Structure formats: C-alpha cells, structure tokens
C-alpha cells in the first residue's frame, strides 16, 4: 500500500479538564508539553510523519482552539473545525467523508492528540500491521495489556479461542467492549485474562466505517451525506460541516458503532502507551528522583515520597508528604491524593457551576500575536493587563462597545491606529482609546513590545469586541 492511500485523523477537540489547573478550556492538554519539549499534538504528528505524508494528516479540533497561538504553528496541516463538541463519532464520520473527498476509499488512522507513546518504533510496527488488516475491511483497534485494575479505562474482551486472523502478527477478534468498570470488576478482568485497555486508537477504511455508521448511527450518516453532496456540488466542505454539525448527536464511536459491529479486530500492543488522563498518569511518565518524586519548576521537597509537584510561577515547598499531586499555577493550586486525581473533573464542574473563570483560561493567555496577562480586575469596573506583542505582529483592527482603554508603553515602540490616525508611542508614553473607537496595536520593531493596558467600563468581557481586519482570520 502506497503512502498516499493512508490518511491520519488526529482528534484534538477535547477540553482536557482532567489535568486542571494546568489544562484550561482555552489551552487544553493536547496543546501542552507534558513529556518533553513538544506539545502532545505535535508529538502525535511527529510519530506519524515517517509513515504518512503531512498533506494526509488531518487535524480535527474545535473552532475556538484554532484561534490560539498554540495552534498557529500547525496551520500547514489540513484541519477540520468543529463548531461545537459532539464526542468522537460525529468527528470521525465527518473526517471519513473528508478522506473520501480527498483520497477515495483510503485507509484512515484515527488517533487522539493527547497520548504519550514511549516506544515509537514499536508503535510504527503495530500501525503498519493495522493498516494491512484494515485494508481487508476490518475495523482495527490497538489493545493495551493492562498492568493494574484501572477504573479509568474502557476494556475490550477478545474471543476465548484467540480467533487469530493473522498468525504472524497476532490479530485477535473482539468479543465485546466494556465501559469503565468499578475496581472489583477491573480486578476480575485481570484475573480472567483476555482483556485489554481500550486505547482509543483505530484504523479502518473510510468506506467501511461510513457503512458501519450508516447501519448503527443513521442520523449521523444522513448528515454526513448532506456534507458530501454539497461538497461534490462545488460547495465549501468546512462551511457544509458548520451547517449540520450542531444537529449531530453527542456520542462516542465506541458506544455508537464499535460495541455493535462484528467487524472489529484487536492488535495487542506494548509500546509504552499512556493516555495521560490524570495527574497520577503524568507522575507515571515523568522523570523521578530516588524517592519517586517528580518535581518541576520552583520546588523544594524535603522527606517526600512518590509525589508530583509542579510549579508554574510561585515557590512550592513540601515536607514529609507522600502519594500526593500538587500543581501550582498563577491563579489556582491543586492538592490531591494520587489515587484521587480522576476526580479533578469534579472540581472543573464545580467551577463551571459557580460561574468562576479559573477553568476557562490562565491569567496569561496566548494569542497569535503574543500574550496578555490579567494583573488585576477591580470591582469598580476596571481591569489591568500586561500585553506583549512580538516583533512584526499586530492585533486586529477592532472596537469595544462597553469600555475605553489607556495604554502605557513599558518597553519597545508601539504603532497605534486610533480612528483615522496612526501614531507612534514610545517607551514611557501613553495614549487613550475612547469607547467605540476603531483601534489597533502593532509592533513594527525588532524587540517585543510591552504595554500596560487599563480598561474602564461597565462590561469588561473578552467578547466585547468587533473586528474589522485581522491577520489571523478571527
């Protein structure tokens, strides 16, 4: 099978709530570097690159994620944007349709963007086998042999007789899928044998998965067909997706299709896989000292054992603690027993329910042009920000209906559009942007531009913005 007959679909639309407070809605874990210097999404792309051409790697993500600085370096890859989250089945169905449009009946490799794989050569060997089996019409999944009774994963049971479809590569037939079990059931699975963790990685022909979706999820299939019809008539594929996607049901590919299909095969894999689905999992993949501690940032640990401590800003000192995960950011601190970190999502739900913002974004927010940091937000209708604009970058031409802004240049030189004027503001100088005035901030210099921005108004939300021109397509 030639390289151009294989497409990869990377699912990068998740919110990453299980790794709060480092992961936020605006910067979920797939855009974080948790295992080395590369983000998890970039690492996923890199491990595919030897086998699949860059133009055949499709990134499926939420529209909001594509506007951030973390995504800006990935614009060279084809992308498909979900206007709303609808779980994996609709995303995979639309991606399969895109593969049909681009490559006919190609083999699709479907991977989450936020997993860690330590043994990339072993992964490549398993992937090659999966591609060959998928070409025969099977739905192939990678099964991970469980090493403990973990309740954080779904399990896949293979048939007792092995049902080896390919003796040389040990491809097994699947008997059933099981949702995340309780602890005693997980222990029973390990004792019985023949069970594997569901890795969430799949390989199949686009036509085969679409046929299965037609059979088991007819509503999803009909909506996908409308996208294909519009695309074949000369319409824009992305725009067609945006029209129908909100009508999609929210359902996983496992529950919607794979649990009901008779075509599923499993390849047992051992390539150092970790879904990094909790801070306990981050501790597992991290470098540790002789006492089992994984320490990162400004940290002092005395007499601690088997503890993860991560500091993003402030000094964190711990004495005599064991089996904890401690994660510090500028606006939130998490302290949890290692065996309770699966409950972090409950904290995020509580924040959402209370109307708090700490689950949405960090105090420092990345943008394609640089960053901004909220330094203080007063109760009297004021907000203080530090804004950094990288050399050659500029913000959108914009206006605000409910606030005015005062800018003070701390370093660098600002080129400011204010109404019909374009002015230069140097270090230790300031300018005022009245409410409703079209304005733009630009850095034409060779060093970063740093300004302090004071906002005053009745409403200071980030959505109080009307853009008239933008370099980044927002």
Q: Is residue 355 part of a domain?
A: no
CATH number (domain holding residue 87): 3.90.550.10
Tens-place pLDDT, residues 120-146: 999 999 999 999 999 999 999 999 999
Tens-place pLDDT, residues 245-283: 999 999 999 999 999 999 999 999 999 999 999 999 999
In the predicted structure, residue 2 carries a pLDDT above the cut 50: no
User: Is the domain of 398 the same as that of 448?
Assistant: yes
Which has more confidence, 13 or 409? 409
Indicate the residue among 256, 274, 292 that finishes a domain.
274
3 state SS of 43: helix
In the predicted structure, residue 289 carries a pLDDT above the cut 90: yes
In the predicted structure, residue 239 carries a pLDDT above the cut 50: yes
User: Is the domain of 268 the same as that of 284?
Assistant: no
Q: Is residue 350 part of a domain?
A: no
Residue that the structure tokens 């008539």 belong to: 233
In the predicted structure, residue 403 carries a pLDDT above the cut 60: yes
Q: How confident is the model at residue 378 (pLDDT cuts 50, 70, 90)?
A: confident
User: Is the domain of 173 the same as that of 197?
Assistant: yes
pLDDT given for residue 162 in this prediction: 54
User: Is the domain of 104 the same as that of 202?
Assistant: yes
Q: Is residue 70 part of a domain?
A: yes
User: Is the domain of 68 the same as that of 213?
Assistant: yes
Q: What is the pTM of this model?
A: 0.87
Q: How confident is the model at residue 166 (pLDDT cuts 50, 70, 90)?
A: low
User: Is the domain of 122 the same as that of 48?
Assistant: yes
User: Is the domain of 308 the same as that of 439?
Assistant: no
Q: How confident is the model at residue 65 (pLDDT cuts 50, 70, 90)?
A: confident
User: Is the domain of 418 the same as that of 460?
Assistant: yes
User: Is the domain of 162 the same as that of 62?
Assistant: yes
Determine what percent of the chain falls in helix, strand and coil, rounding each to the nearest 5.
30, 35, 40
pLDDT given for residue 179 in this prediction: 87
Mean pLDDT of the chain, nearest integer: 93
pLDDT over 70 for what percent of the chain? Answer: 95
Tens-place pLDDT, residues 102-113: 877 899 999 999
Q: Is residue 21 part of a domain?
A: yes
C-alpha–C-alpha distance, residues 354 and 348, integer Å: 10
User: Is the domain of 67 the same as that of 41?
Assistant: yes
Examine residue 21 and say whether the peptide bond preceding it is cis (omega within 30 degrees of 0): yes
Q: How confident is the model at residue 15 (pLDDT cuts 50, 70, 90)?
A: confident
Q: What is the CA radius of gyration of the chain?
A: 25
Count of domains forming the chain = 3
Q: Is residue 359 part of a domain?
A: no
User: Is the domain of 305 the same as that of 261?
Assistant: no
Indicate the residue among 222, 257, 274 that finishes a domain.
274
Indicate the residue among 239, 274, 309 that finishes a domain.
274
pLDDT given for residue 3 in this prediction: 45
Strands 430-433 and 403-411, by their bridges, are antiparallel
Domain with 82 in it? 3-274
In the predicted structure, residue 70 carries a pLDDT above the cut 70: no
Poorest-pLDDT segment among 222-231, 371-380, 389-398: 371-380
Q: Is residue 357 part of a domain?
A: no
In the predicted structure, residue 458 carries a pLDDT above the cut 60: yes
In the predicted structure, residue 295 carries a pLDDT above the cut 80: yes
As given in the structure block, the two tokens for residue 288 are 């540790």
Q: How confident is the model at residue 76 (pLDDT cuts 50, 70, 90)?
A: confident
pLDDT given for residue 72 in this prediction: 66
In the predicted structure, residue 367 carries a pLDDT above the cut 90: no
CATH number (domain holding residue 426): 2.60.120.10
* pLDDT (average), residues 378-386: 91
In the predicted structure, residue 4 carries a pLDDT above the cut 60: no
Give the long-range contacts of residues 332-340, CB within 8 A, separation 24 or more. 332/20, 332/21, 332/358, 333/21, 334/20, 334/21, 334/279, 336/279, 338/279, 338/280, 338/283, 338/306, 338/307, 338/308, 339/280
Q: Is residue 358 part of a domain?
A: no
Q: How confident is the model at residue 161 (pLDDT cuts 50, 70, 90)?
A: low
Q: Is residue 415 part of a domain?
A: yes
User: Is the domain of 234 the same as that of 304?
Assistant: no
């Amino acid at each position: 099978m030639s390289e151009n007959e294989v497409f990869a679909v990377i699912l990068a639309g998740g919110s990453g709530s299980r790794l709060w407070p480092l992961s936020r809605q605006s910067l979920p874990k797939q855009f974080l570097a948790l295992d080395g210097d590369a983000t998890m999404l970039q690492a996923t792309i890199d491990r595919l690159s030897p086998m699949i051409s860059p133009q055949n790697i499709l990134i499926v993500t939420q529209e909001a994620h594509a506007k951030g600085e973390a995504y800006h370096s990935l614009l060279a890859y084809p992308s498909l944007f979900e206007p709303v989250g609808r779980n994996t089945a609709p995303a995979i169905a639309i991606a399969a349709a895109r593969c049909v449009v681009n490559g006919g009946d190609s083999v699709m490799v479907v991977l989450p963007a936020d997993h860690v794989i330590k043994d990339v050569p072993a992964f490549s060997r398993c992937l090659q086998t999966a591609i060959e089996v998928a070409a025969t019409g099977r739905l192939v999944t990678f099964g991970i042999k469980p090493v403990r009774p973990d309740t954080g994963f779904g399990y896949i049971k293979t048939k007792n007789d092995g049902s080896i479809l390919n003796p040389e590569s040990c491809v097994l037939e699947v008997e059933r899928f099981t949702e995340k079990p309780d602890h005693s059931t997980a222990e029973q699975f390990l004792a019985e044998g023949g069970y594997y963790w569901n890795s969430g990685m799949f390989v199949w022909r686009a036509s085969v998965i679409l046929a299965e979706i037609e059979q088991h999820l007819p509503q999803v299939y009909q909506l996908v067909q409308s996208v294909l019809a519009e695309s074949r008539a000369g319409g824009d594929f992305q725009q067609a997706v945006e029209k129908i996607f909100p009508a999609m049901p929210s359902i996983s590919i496992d529950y919607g299709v794979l649990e009901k299909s008779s075509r599923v095969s499993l390849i047992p894999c051992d390539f150092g896989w970790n879904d990094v689905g909790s801070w306990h999992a981050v501790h597992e993949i991290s470098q540790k000292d002789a006492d089992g501690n994984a320490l990162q940032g400004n940290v002092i640990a005395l007499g601690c054992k088997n503890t993860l401590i991560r500091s993003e800003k402030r000094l964190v000192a711990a004495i005599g603690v064991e089996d904890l995960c401690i994660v510090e950011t500028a606006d939130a601190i998490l302290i949890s027993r290692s065996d309770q970190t699966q409950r972090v999502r409950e904290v995020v739900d509580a924040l959402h329910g209370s109307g708090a913002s700490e689950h949405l974004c960090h105090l420092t927010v990345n943008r394609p042009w640089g960053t901004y940091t909220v330094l203080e937000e007063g109760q009297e209708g004021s907000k203080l920000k530090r804004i950094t604009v990288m050399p050659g970058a500029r913000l959108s031409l914009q206006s605000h209906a409910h606030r005015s802004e005062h800018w003070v240049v701390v370093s660098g030189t600002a080129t400011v559009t204010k109404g019909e004027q374009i002015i230069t503001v140097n270090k230790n100088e300031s300018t005022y942007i009245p409410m409703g005035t079209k304005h733009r901030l630009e850095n034409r210099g060779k060093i970063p531009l740093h300004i302090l921005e004071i906002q005053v108004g009745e409403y200071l939300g980030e959505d109080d913005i009307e853009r008239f021109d933008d370099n980044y397509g927002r």
